[in-house]
Copies of this chain bind each other. A is one copy, B any other.
Amino acid sequence: MNVYIENIAAHEGQEVTIRGWLHNRRSSGKIHFLTVRDGTGFIQAVMSKAGVSPETFQQADHLSQETSLVLTGTARADSRAPGGFELDVKSLEVVAPAHEYPLTPKEHGVDYLMDRRHLWIRTERQHAVLRVRHEVVNAIRDFFNSRGFILADTPIFTPSACEGTTTLFPVQYFDDTTAYLTQSGQLYNEANAMALGRVYCFGPTFRAEKSKTRRHLTEFWMVEPEMAYATLDDVMTLGEELVSYVVGRALERRARELNVLQRDTAKLERVRPPFPRVSYDEAARILKDKGLPFEWGGDLGGTDETVLSEQFDRPVAVYGYPSAIKAFYMKPDPNRPDVSLSVDVLAPEGYGEIIGGGQRIDDYDLLLQRIKEHNLPQEAFEWYLDLRRYGSVPHAGFGMGVERVVSWICGLEHVRETIPYPRMLYRLYP
């Protein structure tokens, strides 16, 4: 009976067949210990000289790492085994060899590994990261679905830039038309929220970032909720509940993976609402007090975010950024228009911004004025202006980047490990 390693506990004492790859091998002369992986887990298979044919025992002596093989044997509980079970092997079938597998247990440089990303993902550490990613994505979806949000996919091909044009990837569409790859589904989300009340989009977004940092990819996944009849306060509450839920799911369902990654989960256990909420004004004061050369009016840099987040034991929401440094659609505070109804949520431990959002301008005249001030082509935004022409309502939302969140939960140095095939300035292969 074919069994996945992750399900072996249900087959104690039974004869099972495991189909996988050889991960590691050692031998005592009379016993071969084969560590086998099948994608769902790792198990030690014990082959004693007495238990198999002489040919099989000899064959096992020459198996190289990543040989694909089918093992049949008895599942035996063993409290010392990492997964609680071992396999007493009765027969072995080699499916295909793996001569000179290029990823040995020794240390390899990052470029070497990235060039072999399709093989690197076969390691236990990368399995752990990718399973946490899987959990994060599914937790996000479950969170929004259970709250009545409707998934409404926004287009990847867009006719105009959402926020500036310098980091856009243009695509030759048909004939003489240029399309741009989306940087955010937000403008469309707003239209969808006017139609469906509460919506989210969740897809890849693109930024032609020429900078090489450990926090940026050119292609990354973002979830963006948007709510009609909602304010800045509503999105701050939604954001802290989302982040707490996602972290909780990872702790609950991916404890094994976080252990493989040697993550200090005590720091994640603290991630519960409410998050501290700090105005941009206060943030500026804190940074000055810490001796940083920060001036009111500027955006928070990487160091500023790190220093600020170190003041708290959980993510911190910074709200009320200067209107001048936020996107054209951000609603100004009615009591103080130089400040916007915006919020960024910064992850702890220096992982930077994981959420950015706020309340949108709902007044037609003000939005038109902003489009003109930003030298945006009005014609391309006529549909967006329609949302303020016909039954405008207060509305708000945010975006949360998946790779940043996975990187933080896993405790990684660099976002490049958070996605199977990262795309960066000099990285398009494999």
A positions within 8 Å CB-CB of B: 2, 4, 6, 19-22, 38-40, 66-68, 95-99, 101, 116, 118-119, 121-122, 126-127, 130-131, 133-134, 137-138, 141, 145, 148, 150-159, 169-174, 177, 179, 181, 188, 191-198, 203-204, 206, 208, 210, 218-219, 221, 228-229, 362, 380, 383-384, 386-394, 419-421, 423, 425-426, 428-430
Q: Tell whether, in the assembled complex, residue A150 and residue B131 are in contact, meaning their CB atoms are under 8 Å apart.
A: yes
Instruction: Tell me how far the C-beta of A113 lies from the nearest C-beta in chain B, rounded to whole angstroms.
Output: 13
Contact partner of A219 (CB less than 8 A), chosen from B119, B121, B155, B192, is B155
CA separation between A372 and B363, bound complex, in Å? Answer: 60
Q: What residues of chain B lie closer than 8 Å to A96, measured between beta carbons?
A: 362, 388, 391-393
CA separation between A260 and B107, bound complex, in Å? Answer: 61
Q: What residues of chain B lie closer than 8 Å to A133, measured between beta carbons?
A: 151, 153
Instruction: Tell me how far the C-beta of A218 lies from the nearest C-beta in chain B, rounded to whole angstroms.
Output: 7
Chief secondary structure at chain A's binding surface:
mixed
Question: Provided the pairs A151-B137, A195-B121, A219-B157 are in contact, do residues A95 and B392 lie with their beta carbons within 8 angstroms?
Answer: yes
Q: What residues of chain B lie closer than 8 Å to A430, measured between beta carbons?
A: 159, 188, 191, 383-384
Having A39-B197, A174-B208, one finds 17 other A-B pairs with CB under 8 Å, namely A21-B194, A40-B148, A66-B391, A68-B393, A95-B393, A96-B391, A116-B383, A119-B390, A122-B194, A122-B195, A130-B195, A134-B151, A154-B420, A157-B428, A169-B173, A171-B171, A204-B204
Q: Tell whether, in the assembled complex, residue A134 and residue B121 are in contact, meaning their CB atoms are under 8 Å apart.
A: no
Contact partner of A155 (CB less than 8 A), chosen from B22, B159, B388, B423, is B423
Q: What residues of chain B lie closer than 8 Å to A197, measured between beta carbons?
A: 4, 20, 38-40
- Oligomer: number of copies: 2
Question: Provided the pairs A157-B219, A191-B118, A197-B39 are in contact, do residues A151 and B138 lie with their beta carbons within 8 angstroms?
Answer: yes
Q: Tell whether, in the assembled complex, residue B138 and residue A390 are in contact, meaning their CB atoms are under 8 Å apart.
A: no
12 residue pairs bridging A and B, Cβ less than 8 Å apart: A2-B229, A6-B148, A20-B197, A40-B198, A99-B389, A101-B390, A127-B196, A141-B141, A154-B420, A156-B156, A157-B423, A174-B425
Q: What residues of chain B lie closer than 8 Å to A119, measured between beta carbons?
A: 191, 386, 390
CA separation between A421 and B156, bound complex, in Å? Answer: 10
Question: Provided the pairs A148-B40, A362-B96, A392-B96 are in contact, do residues A171 and B181 lie with their beta carbons within 8 angstroms?
Answer: yes
Q: Tell whether, in the assembled complex, residue A229 and residue B151 are in contact, meaning their CB atoms are under 8 Å apart.
A: no
Q: What residues of chain B lie closer than 8 Å to A172, measured between beta carbons?
A: 169-170
Contact partner of A192 (CB less than 8 A), chosen from B121, B157, B173, B193, is B121
Instruction: Tell me how far the C-beta of A372 lies from the nearest C-beta in chain B, rounded to whole angstroms.
Output: 19
Q: Tell whether, in the assembled complex, residue B134 and residue A420 are in contact, meaning their CB atoms are under 8 Å apart.
A: no
Question: Provided the pairs A153-B420, A173-B428, A210-B174 are in contact, do residues A198 and B39 lie with their beta carbons within 8 angstroms?
Answer: yes
Q: What residues of chain B lie closer than 8 Å to A425, measured between beta carbons?
A: 174
CA separation between A362 and B68, bound complex, in Å? Answer: 12
Q: What residues of chain B lie closer than 8 Å to A421, measured between beta carbons?
A: 154-155, 188
